[in-house]
């Protein structure tokens, strides 16, 4: 199945969780959003993605 990850199409396994998408990222320094809804850190491992989900992985950067 396919989701949109940070604006790009990405093929993933069925029943993948949100946490499966983030193997190399520090879970404490990112915010995750699925279909415009914020998914808290402790819910990521149980959050099963569906075909067509729009996932955003956001972090803080320098800005004025």
Residue ranges binding other proteins (CB under 8 A): 5-7, 24-26, 29-31, 33, 36, 38, 40, 56-64
3-state secondary structure of 40: coil
**Least distance CB 58 / other proteins (angstroms):** 5
Whichever of 27 and 52 has its CB closer to other proteins, that residue is 27
Residue among 47, 11, 9, 34 at smallest CA distance from 58: 34
Cα–Cα distance, 64 to 43 (Å, whole number):
32
Nearer to other proteins, 1 or 22 (CB): 22
């Amino acid at each position: 199945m396919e989701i949109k990850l940070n604006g790009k199409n990405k093929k993933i396994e069925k029943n993948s969780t949100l946490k499966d998408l983030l193997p190399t990222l520090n879970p404490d320094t990112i915010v995750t959003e699925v279909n415009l809804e914020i998914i808290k850190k402790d819910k990521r491992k149980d959050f099963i993605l569906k075909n067509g989900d729009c996932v955003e992985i956001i972090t803080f950067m320098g800005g004025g």
